[in-house]
Amino acid sequence: MVCSIILFFIGLYCLASKKNMIRLLMGIEIMINAANLNFIAFSSFIEEGAVHPLGHVFAILSIAVGGCIIAVGLVITIYAYRHYGTLDVRKLRRLRH
């Protein structure tokens, strides 16, 4: 549990401090992995002496959804780099005006 909390805060730090789109996507992926670790850790607390498979099912589903999110995010990142020539979120935000 402590490991998943540390992973979650590392991902949150990446989202808060990094301005590169690829690093932001990496932070999101770290946060998704922290949630998966929590699903599996809490599945052992449901039944005494056995691990409930529901936590593993949620983790597998979350891995699949997280992969789709990262794939779409990388496609958007590639198109933004090809069109604007930068991956800096601050510069891309200024293009809105």
- Encode burial over 73-88: b for 16+ CB neighbours within 10 A, e otherwise: beeebeebeeeeeebe
Residue 26 has pLDDT above 70, yes or no: yes
pLDDT digits (tens, 9 = 90+) for 39-71: 888 888 877 777 788 888 999 999 999 999 999
Chain centroid offset of residue 79 CA: 20
**Domain around 13:** 2-94
The pTM for the full model equals 0.83
pLDDT digits (tens, 9 = 90+) for 1-16: 899 999 999 999 999 9
Number of domains in the chain: 1
**CATH code: domain of residue 13:** 1.10.287.3510
- What pLDDT is attached to residue 95? 73
